[in-house]
Chain A
Amino acid sequence: SAVISQKPSRDICQRGTSLTIQCQVDSQVTMMFWYRQQPGQSLTLIATANQGSEATYESGFVIDKFPISRPNLTFSTLTVSNMSPEDSSIYLCSVGGVGFRGANVLTFGAGSRLTVL
């Protein structure tokens, strides 16, 4: 399976600022996914990052708040904009391998733990 490097691993941010998280994969992948995990909660998909086109956002997430770049098949960034304490979460990058009948078998990066003061 793919090896995913994510940075920063953790950061403490001030309210109103923005932070960009980077995700690097050791092989070319078609789709990359960004998830959010709020404290004590499960994972929620933010968006799917597609190379060569705009990201596809899930309900409740908008491009102005979470802009995503996907310049090539091995790299993506997620920016958390104008942060508030409610944005304190672990943000995880993942990529899919091919499973049965086109299933996306996911591998995750180590995550970026953000604390907003």
Chain B
Amino acid sequence: GIQVEQSPPDLILQEGANSTLRCNFSDSVNNLQWFHQNPWGQLINLFYIPSGTKQNGRLSATTVATERYSLLYISSSQTTDSGVYFCAVASGSEKLVFGKGTKLTVNP
């Protein structure tokens, strides 16, 4: 099945810094989603982005499908951005496969 690798596994930032999270996948996909899991366990869908670029406030994502990777950019980070960021991918109508996540800690 499709493999998903996320990097870095852990990231510590000072408030106001920018960061880039990466997601590599092993096969062509028609479904790629980025999620944020807050410290209370709630999973929030950030982007559905099988290709191209999207922006939502301080967050943006780019997926280069031909090169099998996606990037999530966080600008001017805030303490509320802390949590775990998951990338999940699928091919065709197959089930989503989740990466292991990047744990982000933003310090005040």
Contacts and interface: CB of A to CB of B under 8 A. Distances in A.
Interface of A: 1, 33, 37, 41-45, 48, 58, 90, 92, 99-108, 110-111, 113
Interface in B36-92: 40-45, 48, 50, 86, 88, 90, 92
B41 A99 contact: no
Contacts of B101: 42
B43 A111 contact: yes
A106 B86 contact: no
Contact of B41 (A1, A90, A102): A90
Nearest to A94: B43
A33 B88 CA distance: 15
Contacts of A106: 33, 45, 88, 96
B86 to A, nearest CB: 7
Q: Which secondary structure characterizes the binding site on chain A? A: strand
A31 to B, nearest CB: 10
Interface in B1-48: 30-31, 33, 35, 40-45, 48
A99 B45 contact: no
Contacts of B48: 99, 103, 105
A38 to B, nearest CB: 12
Instruction: Classify chain B's interface size.
Output: 20 to 34
B33 A110 contact: no
Interface centre among A42, A44, A58, A108 (most CB of B within 10 A): A42
Given A42-B99, A42-B101, A43-B98, A101 B45 contact: no
A102 to B, nearest CB: 5
Given A90-B41, A105-B33, A106-B88, A100 B50 contact: yes
A101 B90 CA distance: 11
B5 to A, nearest CB: 12
B92 A101 contact: yes
13 contacts: A41-B100, A42-B98, A42-B99, A42-B101, A48-B95, A58-B95, A92-B43, A99-B50, A101-B92, A103-B90, A108-B35, A108-B45, A111-B43
